[in-house]
């Protein structure tokens, strides 16, 4: 019977730690943009063309 009390205490401590980590991540802005990552795969990446170096000709 005493094992139940120990397991209950341990589970409460673990639950409080996870809840504190969740509150910390919300305050740090971890969940601010939930829409963009879900639709990012629908858009094609823009191709970036490398800039050509201008060659000065000696005349």
pLDDT over threshold 80, residue 18: yes
Query: pLDDT for 33-49, tens place per residue?
Result: 777 777 777 777 666 67
Residue 59 has pLDDT above 60, yes or no: no
CA distance 45 to 57: 36
For residues 50 and 1, the model is more confident at: 1
Question: What mean pLDDT is reported for the chain?
Answer: 84
Predicted TM-score of the model (pTM):
0.54
Q: Report the alpha-carbon distance of residue 34 to residue 29 in Å, rounded.
A: 11
What the block records as the tokens of 30 is 């971890």
């Amino acid at each position: 019977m005493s094992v139940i009390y120990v397991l209950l205490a341990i589970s409460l401590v673990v639950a409080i730690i996870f809840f504190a980590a969740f509150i910390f991540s919300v305050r740090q802005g971890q969940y601010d943009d939930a829409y963009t990552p879900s639709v990012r795969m629908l858009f094609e990446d823009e191709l970036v063309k490398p800039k050509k170096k201008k060659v000065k000709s000696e005349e």
